[in-house]
């Protein structure tokens, strides 16, 4: 997957997806302006909604088995529990650092621009918004250990899945030669899941087109006007963190080229923007950092799903800008103590929060409650949150990939030849099956 052409006369998958995204944006705005009830019900909410949900469901279908088998093989690949602990410690520290930096930068920018001053509340219904109680730090860490692993897998509790899988992988290492068959089966299943990722991604242009069309057909552009200052400051802060802070971290901590990184992470960013879900983008992010950038699976299998769960740079930026915006709307002076509380709450709330669409609003109600702002203020920015969620999810997964690359470089677990090769990991969209291989497989099954 890259911007260059794959094969003579064929566009790469990334270019196809970007064209689909642009076409969906245009069509969505047109359908929104038409505003026909039949179109909204049966075309936008019906057909486009159905295809979009099918695509997202297909991505989410891959997440749990891919993380499980990839992490099992990753633990086996590391082979040393001390190295595993070192990778985990570096990842956690960097994720917390990027999240804290993100919200601090957002608060500084929002404080300088001061969005919300002179805001008029007319026509905005702030009733019916309920807040969420902030979890204690002890509950957050205690819940990492699953009481029922089967339930954790069924519910997609990513931190619990990671914890259980690491324990299982360590136990398998301790059994040494007796685990050889189990490890070989896990490696096969990991390759099988990556092949399914290729199959799903073959239909990505269609899925992305339907998702973008539905989003813009439902949201339109009129919702932005009342909160335009908030939107502009939030988008500006997100882009500054994406192209500035994260790329600076990448260069300082790894010495790698940010330009190469940004070219190779683009497919995952597009998927994150389309789905607004860090968890649903895990298969694409894993593929981008391993096959395109050369990060060893032993590192990426841990850091990517871990980051999709605890790394919320984009969401933290939203919380910082939204808090300043609502404080200005209600005429509340938060002061230094209030801003520090916002930073601390955002970092804490990001740990263990599911990487799914809309979770940012839940986290925001926790933050507002802690600094004494009305929870009902969420309704003011709720209308534009879906579109903002798409942008901040792209920022979130970029942070996941940056930390993964930094950790891999520090552990000498990255193939620099692959990282610097523009064609490395390029996915050919040819999904044909070799007839001879198919016959051999069928013959072997019948022989048994």
Closest CA relative to residue 241, chosen from 321, 296, 295:
321
Please give the backbone phi and psi of residue 79, each rounded to the nearest 5 degrees, phi first.
75, -15
Residue 399, burial from CB neighbour count under 10 angstroms (0-12, 13-18, 19+)? buried
Token readout for 288 is 């981008």
Sign of the alpha-carbon dihedral angle for 53, 195, 395, 204: negative
Number of structural domains found in the chain: 1
Model pLDDT, residue 2 = 41
- Predicted TM-score (pTM) of the model is 0.78
Token readout for 10 is 């064929």
Does 443 map to a domain?
A: no
User: 401: which residues sit within 8 A by CB, 6+ positions away?
Assistant: 261, 265, 268, 285, 288, 289, 293, 304
Does 285 map to a domain?
A: yes
Token readout for 225 is 């006007």
Model pLDDT, residue 439 = 67
Residue 295 pairs with which residues in a beta bridge?
414
Is the Cβ–Cβ distance between 104 and 343 less than 8 Å? yes
Model pLDDT, residue 351 = 62
Does 438 map to a domain?
A: no
Does 291 map to a domain?
A: yes
Does 448 map to a domain?
A: no
Name the maximum alpha-carbon separation found in the chain: 79
Does 447 map to a domain?
A: no
CA distance 363 to 127: 18
Low-confidence stretches of the chain (pLDDT beneath 50) = 1-8, 126-127, 131, 355
CA distance 277 to 279: 5
Domain of 315 in residue numbering reads as 13-427
Does 433 map to a domain?
A: no
CATH code, domain carrying 195: 1.10.3860.10
Does 194 map to a domain?
A: yes
Burial 339-359, CB ≥16 within 10 A → b, else e: bebbbebbbbbbbbbbbbbeb
Residue 225, burial from CB neighbour count under 10 angstroms (0-12, 13-18, 19+)? exposed
């Amino acid at each position: 997957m890259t911007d260059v052409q794959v094969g003579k006369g064929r566009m790469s998958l990334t270019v196809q997806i970007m064209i689909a995204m642009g076409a969906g944006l245009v069509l969505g705005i047109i359908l929104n302006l038409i505003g026909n009830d039949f179109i909204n019900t049966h075309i936008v909410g019906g057909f486009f909604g159905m295809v979009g949900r099918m695509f997202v469901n297909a991505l989410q279908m891959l997440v749990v088995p891919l993380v499980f088998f990839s992490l099992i093989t990753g633990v086996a690949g590391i082979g040393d529990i001390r190295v595993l602990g070192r990778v985990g410690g570096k990842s956690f520290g960097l994720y917390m650092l990027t999240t804290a930096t993100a919200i601090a930068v957002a608060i500084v920018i929002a404080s300088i621009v001061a969005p919300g001053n002179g805001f008029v509340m007319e026509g905005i219904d702030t009733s019916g918004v309920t807040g969420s109680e902030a979890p204690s730090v002890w509950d957050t860490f205690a819940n990492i250990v699953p009481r029922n692993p089967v339930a954790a897998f069924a519910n997609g509790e990513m931190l619990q899945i990671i914890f259980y899988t690491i324990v299982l992988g360590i136990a398998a290492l301790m059994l040494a030669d007796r685990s050889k068959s189990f490890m070989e089966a896990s490696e096969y299943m990991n390759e099988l899941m990556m092949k399914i990722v290729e199959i799903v991604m073959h239909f990505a242009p269609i899925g992305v087109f339907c998702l973008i069309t539905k989003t813009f057909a439902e949201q339109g552009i009129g919702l932005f006007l009342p909160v335009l200052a908030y939107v502009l400051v939030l988008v500006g802060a997100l882009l500054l963190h994406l192209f500035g802070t994260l790329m600076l971290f990448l260069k300082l901590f790894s010495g790698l080229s940010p330009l190469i990184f940004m070219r190779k992470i683009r497919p995952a960013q597009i998927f994150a923007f389309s789905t607004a879900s860090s968890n649903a983008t895990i298969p694409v992010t894993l593929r981008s950092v391993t096959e395109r950038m050369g990060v060893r699976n032993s590192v990426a299998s841990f850091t990517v799903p871990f980051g999709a769960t605890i790394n919320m740079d984009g969401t933290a930026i939203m919380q910082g800008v939204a808090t300043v915006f609502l404080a200005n709307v209600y005429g509340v002076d938060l002061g230094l103590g209030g801003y520090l509380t916002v930073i601390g709450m955002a970092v804490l709330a990001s740990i263990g929060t599911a990487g799914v669409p809309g979770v940012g609003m839940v986290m925001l109600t926790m933050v507002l409650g802690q600094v004494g702002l009305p929870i009902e203020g969420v309704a003011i920015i709720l209308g534009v949150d879906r579109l903002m969620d798409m942008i901040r999810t792209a920022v979130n997964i970029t942070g996941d990939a940056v930390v993964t690359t930094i950790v891999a470089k520090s552990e000498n677990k990255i193939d620099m030849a692959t990282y610097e090769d523009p064609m490395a990991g390029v996915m050919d969209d040819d999904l044909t099956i070799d007839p001879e291989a198919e016959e051999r497989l069928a013959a072997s099954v019948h022989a048994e």
